[in-house]
Structure 1
Amino acid sequence: MKRSKHPAPRDAVSGFTLIEVMIAIVIMAVLSLIAWRGLDSMSRANVQLQERSEDTAQLMRTLQQLQRDLAWRTTIELPASGMEAQAQDGAPSTGGGRQQAAVRLLPPGMEARRPDPGSLLIEFVRAAPAAPGRWQRVQWWLQAGTLYRAVGAAVAAYPLPVPEAADRVAVLQGLVSFELRAWEPEQGWRALPAAVQARSPASGLEIVLGARRNGGPVLHYRQVVAFD
């Protein structure tokens, strides 16, 4: 028998060249980089959103706490400050040499003053929620970008003790401003402390907190409390 001179056919062998493999690796690397940047951007945006939400929630809780303190406000008189005493002594006189009675803009038991040129303090008397029949002084003020709150001891006799240094609590940090205005009927909003004599008692109080986050613009948060 004669052997065939033609060799048996071999199966065809297919595959990728080195260049094709390198191109595929580069494409996958570019896609991975794009996906990573997208995920990183979404993660950063989520973190910033959470921080802003927490800051806003903290500001709202602060305003609510101040509103609750004012809701327990009483009308017990506070000792007149030097400014109020001077305003009463220098009140304008009417015809016949009679002195016109001074009208307090803020209700009894409430006072706003500036201990320092760049600070503002509001002080008022409230009923002690945990001690019926007793009263206490409450102070709110801004100092070096931090809003503080201090509540004095609850007592049943007058005069009421002034809050001590140990009673001070830092409520909110990172504030730019803490401003108060009182609504005088037929006159409009008046900044506190009032520089001129009022014609009628105020019927409401406006609280404005100014905050700046991460070097952005100042955002103002406003709360209005009506006086009963």
Structure 2
Amino acid sequence: MTRMRPTRGFTLIELLVAIAVMALLALVSWQGLEGMARAQSINRERSDAVLTLQTALSQWTADLDATVTLAQTRAMDWDGRTLRLTRRSTDSALPVVYVVAWTLRSDAAGVARWYRWQSPGLTGRPEWQQAWDRAAAWGQDSTSSDEVGGTEIALMPLEAWQLFYFRNDVWGPAVGATALGTGTPLPDGVRLVLSLPPGPALAGVLTRDWVRPTASAPKSS
């Protein structure tokens, strides 16, 4: 009769080695999955930031394109902090204008953001003057949109912004409406310089030039 040999099992050391190898493989796999999730999150954040920036710049260009010069009003005014514009309605059936303001101010969390404010539709000079003054007050951090009325939109985080005007064939720092004079209510071009805060999505300095439709294209330098 043939005797059966006993089956040899794993030793304790072999089991410990196998467990250690499996743990190492699990750790490597988890790190790979975590890296993929982090990359997807960064890409999603960058895409959202780019979309927000594109939307803000499109609105900026639309406001400048729609800027209108009316009797006894100001088309554009820059006080070093807030840009105010008088713009026409995009609906030709509505004979109204709007006062629009852009500024950099801090939100409730203390984060500096680029903001846009727009008045209701205006049909008369007294209404325009009131909205124009409200836009100037809104440009101050101490005044909220609830106090002045109108519609306020927080656009994007921003460290700083600068404006330059193209006048007399040269770029120079933006000036107030009084310095522009009644004979030239609008500059030939407006250069927007945005300083984006550091972060994983967007960072650095962005420059955007706008040319008045009736003006010749300004030089980029």
Deviation at 1:126, TM superposition (A): 0.9
Residue deviations 1:76-107 (CA, integer Å, cap 9, x gap): 2565xxxxxxxxxxxxxxxxxxxxxxxxxxxx
Report whether the alignment pairs 1:126 with 2:93: no
Deviation at 1:218, TM superposition (A): 4.7
CA 33–15 in structure 1, closer or farther in 2 if over 3 Å, else same: same
For residues 71-220 of structure 1, the aligned pairs below 5 Å read 71-77=65-71, 79=73, 109-114=75-80, 120-130=81-91, 132-144=94-106, 145-159=112-126, 160=128, 161-162=130-131, 164=134, 165-187=148-170, 189-193=171-175, 202-214=187-199, 218-220=203-205
Give the partner amino acid of 2:208.
Q
Number of equivalenced pairs: 188
Q: Structure 1: where are the runs of 5+ without partners?
A: 1-6, 80-107, 115-119
Asked if structure 2 preserves the Cα contact closer than 8 Å seen for 1:78 and 1:110, the reply is no
Deviation at 1:217, TM superposition (A): 9.1
SS at match of 2:172: strand
Asked if structure 2 preserves the Cα contact closer than 8 Å seen for 1:148 and 1:168, the reply is no
Asked if structure 2 preserves the Cα contact closer than 8 Å seen for 1:111 and 1:122, the reply is yes
Give the partner amino acid of 2:169.
E
Asked if structure 1 preserves the Cα contact closer than 8 Å seen for 2:50 and 2:202, the reply is no
Query: Of 42, 49, 55, which residue of structure 2 is paired with 1:48?
Result: 42
User: Which one scores higher on RCO, CA 8 angstroms, separation ≥ 6?
Assistant: 2
Asked if structure 1 preserves the Cα contact closer than 8 Å seen for 2:42 and 2:201, the reply is no
1:98 match: none
CA 216–149 in structure 1, closer or farther in 2 if over 3 Å, else same: closer
Aligned alpha-carbon RMSD (Å): 3.0
Report whether the alignment pairs 1:224 with 2:186: no
Q: TM-score, normalised by structure 2?
A: 0.72
Structure whose residues are more often helix by fraction: 2
Residue deviations 1:180-221 (CA, integer Å, cap 9, x gap): 11122432x211126x96799532111122221449995223
Deviation at 1:140, TM superposition (A): 1.0
What percentage of residue pairs aligned between the two structures are identical?
23
CA 11–153 in structure 1, closer or farther in 2 if over 3 Å, else same: same
Give the partner amino acid of 1:192.
A
